[in-house]
Amino acid sequence: MHDFLTAALYNFVELPDFAELQAPLLACCEAHGVKGTLLLASEGINGTIAGQSADVHAVLAFLRQDPRLAALTHKEAHAAQMPFYRMKVRLKREIVTLGVPDVHPALMAGQYVKPQDWNQLLADPAVVLVDTRNDYEVSIGTFQGAINPATHSFSELPDWVEREMLDGGKLATVNGQKPKVAMFCTGGIRCEKSTAFLRAKGFDEVYHLEGGILKYLETVPEAQSTWQGECFVFDERVSVGHGLHAGDFTLCRSCRDPLSTQDRASPLYELGVSCAHCHAHTTEQQKEGYRERQRQVDLAAARHQAHIGVRQPGSA
């Protein structure tokens, strides 16, 4: 039974007073028992929250009371368990960090392509398809034929673009013309910034998937899909597939990498402690600390209590 509603949201909009919004927004979320993370910056809002359906919608209504956020849209998913452990409202320089000044997605983003029209765009052999997500996300699923820039953070993407614009690169100018570029990400936010960046670099034909991979997986039937694998998500579901059903991946609690069934069969995998990706990079002292944390998690589960995310006595 699906008892919890998850709402992913973002909106690029001018919020010069964003710091003043932090306290009342956190108070609203906590009053409704909603958990997750929301980021506020002068360029807008971004985040994911979860809770009982009525409570999540109450928080969304609270946000939309601000005329600047009246057009805020969100994507919904359902879960049997609360996917977050606490509520955070954080102040940031950017709601998604690209690290390039004077990139304004609200004014410069590329052309939206609806999920039902995405396959038709990708059928054009002249289109260069770029996955703007990080390497660990791409590793568990992507669109057929997509280029993986192999970045570890979104802020590395501009350097990749600059390199690929050179002669012989995937984004190089040929016969005086820059290529058509299609970009995609999990929910759409990174694409708005990355396509705005490309337009600032002189690319005229730039497209991005409206609503991101999640909207595509929700909208396009699996039989017609060009998506391969699963989609990494930033909550306790770890990954989702077509129809946004929870996938088969779990998360390493040490390095935070997604782990497949095969990864968990590795002799270097220890629940809550290590996996093949990070085993060699942590000390035995660190591993023992992770084991103690996992023992506490297991004890709390045996008592049908939460452990992770519970404020301990005396904590702030």
How far apart CA 307 and CA 287 sit, in angstroms, is 19
Spatial contact of 160 and 152, defined as CB atoms under 8 Å apart? no
Q: For residue range 46-94, list pLDDT tens digits in order.
A: 999 999 999 999 999 999 999 999 999 898 888 788 888 899 999 999 9
- Mean of the per-residue pLDDT values for the chain? 92
- Name the pLDDT band for 309 (thresholds 50, 70, 90): very low
From the list 246, 239, 249, the residue with the least C-alpha distance to 269 is 249
- Catalytic residue list: 185
Task: Name the more confident of 85 and 222.
Answer: 222
Residues 23-47 have pLDDT tens digits of: 999 999 999 999 999 999 999 999 9
Quick one: pLDDT at residue 183?
98
Q: What is the pTM of this model?
A: 0.83
| pLDDT tens per residue, range 232-272 | 988 778 999 999 888 999 999 899 899 999 999 999 999 99
